[in-house]
Structure 1
Amino acid sequence: MRVVSLVPSLTEAVAVTLPGVLVGATEWCTHPAGLDVARIGGTKNPDVPAIVALRPDLVLANEEENRAPDLAALRAAGIEVLVTEVRELPQAIRELDRALRACGASARPRWLDEAETAWLRLPPLQGRLRAVVPIWRRPWMVLGRATFAGDLLARLGVDNVYADHAERYPRVPLDELRGTRPDLVVLPDEPYRFTPDDGPEAFEAPAVLVSGRHLTWYGPSLGEAAGVLATALGR
């Protein structure tokens, strides 16, 4: 089996579960460390001819992270493309299982079972918090409706202020963000790399810096994400 992954989460999942199956991945596929495969561009601008030249049996993609024209071009070249859709934790578990089996796994890997258990066994919550979750600045963009990260936060007792917005990643003026008077502001380090000196100063509410990999990736990091995020958020 020869697999090319266009999604960092899926790259890590396949590499950990089925060593040797991956032959290509994007430049953004940073885990596991030291992954030695052909690099075929970014998630939004993959090098389609380079992927075709790798002769993959399967390309893994995601409906949000990858562009439909690129996936159509791969299919037109005769390559099978599996596209995942992940907007909540149970869906992530199912889609990971589906993708890994398509890559040759005979059963769900142990790490996936452990990740599911870690989220099911979260301790009882003491109250709920309202949060704004920026993902970009210049312009400011935030998590909106039906996002995987928003679902994880809700499971930790942190409700996204913009969870009912018409858009999934709306642009919102900074004054409006401040005007929502959230209990906290959650700042991940990807896709925009918020840091102690770049982001928190824009808000009066307490700001919490979190790992984007733990908040937005659905893969082996899910196993530790529940504990890491709960600690960071004071839950």
Structure 2
Amino acid sequence: MRVVSLVPSLTEAVAVCAPELLVGATDWCSHPAGLEVPRIGGTKNPGTGKIAALAPDLVIANEEENRPQDLAALRAAGLDVMVTEVRTLDQAVSELARVLVRGCGLARPDWLDAAETAWRELPVPAAERAAVVPIWRRPWMVLGRDTFAGDLLARLGVRNVYAGHADRYPRIPLDELRACPADLVVLPDEPYRFGADDGPEAFPSLPAALVSGRYLTWYGPSLVRAPGVLSQALAGAG
């Protein structure tokens, strides 16, 4: 098999299981560390000609991270493109199994079973907390309905206050974000790199949980450690 991955999470999943299969990945595919494969551009602007020249048996993509026109161009070039949809943890597990087993011809990895166990054995949260979850500023954007990150947070006892919004990633003015009934603000370090000096100051009345975007938004081997890493970060917000 020759596989090109257009999604950092899927790149890591394949590379951990069978690195020899990967013949191309995006510029944003940063895990595992030291991954040495040809780079084919970004997730939103992949070089379709470069990908075709690599002659992959399979291109793996995601309906949210990759543009339909790019995937259509790859199919028009005669390539087999497998597109994942991940809106919940359960979907992530089933889609990872589909890509690795059916798409790449691999055995179901032990780490996928370990991830399921880690999330299934989470203790029941003592109390639910409501949170605003920004993912961008200038303009401010937050998690809305039907998101993988929102599902993970809900399993950890954090209710996204915009989970009922009509948009999945709505733009909300800062004054409205500050006025909404929330117990904390959750600030991931991707896609926008929120940090101690960039984000919490915008919400002076709320405790801030600075969380790893990799553990909040990536689906792959990181899911094994995600419950513990995220729980610790959320607990630190009081």
Q: How does 1:143-154 map onto structure 2 within 5 Å?
A: 143-154=143-154
Separation in 2 of the partners of 1:171 and 1:94? Answer: 30
- State the one-letter code of the partner of 1:86: V
Q: How does 1:217-232 map onto structure 2 within 5 Å?
A: 217-232=218-233
Separation in 2 of the partners of 1:71 and 1:86? Answer: 17
1:233 aligns with 2:234: yes
Separation in 1 of the partners of 2:124 and 2:195? Answer: 30
Contact kept, 8 Å, 1:4 with 1:58, in 2: the verdict is yes
Separation in 2 of the partners of 1:27 and 1:136? Answer: 20
Alignment partner, residue 122 of structure 2: 122
- Three-state SS of the structure 2 residue aligned to 1:194 is coil
Q: How does 1:62-211 map onto structure 2 within 5 Å?
A: 62-101=62-101, 102-105=103-106, 107-203=107-203, 204-211=205-212
Separation in 2 of the partners of 1:44 and 1:206? Answer: 34
Alignment partner, residue 214 of structure 1: 215
Tell me the CA shift for residue 104 of structure 1: 1.7
Separation in 2 of the partners of 1:158 and 1:74? Answer: 39
- Three-state SS of the structure 2 residue aligned to 1:82 is strand
Contact kept, 8 Å, 1:140 with 1:171, in 2: the verdict is yes
1:53-103 CA-partner distances (Å, limit 9, x unpaired): 000000000000000000000000000000000000011000000000111
Contact kept, 8 Å, 1:146 with 1:163, in 2: the verdict is yes
Tell me the CA shift for residue 232 of structure 1: 0.7
- Three-state SS of the structure 2 residue aligned to 1:61 is strand
Tell me the CA shift for residue 181 of structure 1: 3.1
Alignment partner, residue 7 of structure 1: 7
Tell me the CA shift for residue 159 of structure 1: 0.2
- State the one-letter code of the partner of 1:224: R
In structure 1, runs of 5+ residues without a counterpart are none
1:31 aligns with 2:31: yes
Contact kept, 8 Å, 1:181 with 1:205, in 2: the verdict is no
Q: How many residues align?
A: 234
- State the one-letter code of the partner of 1:232: A
- State the one-letter code of the partner of 1:173: P
Tell me the CA shift for residue 125 of structure 1: 1.2
Alignment partner, residue 46 of structure 1: 46
Task: List structure 1 segments (4+ residues) > 2 angstroms apart after TM superposition.
Answer: none
Identity value in percent: 74
Tell me the CA shift for residue 126 of structure 1: 0.3
- State the one-letter code of the partner of 1:28: W
Separation in 1 of the partners of 2:135 and 2:142? Answer: 5
- State the one-letter code of the partner of 1:231: Q
Tell me the CA shift for residue 123 of structure 1: 1.1
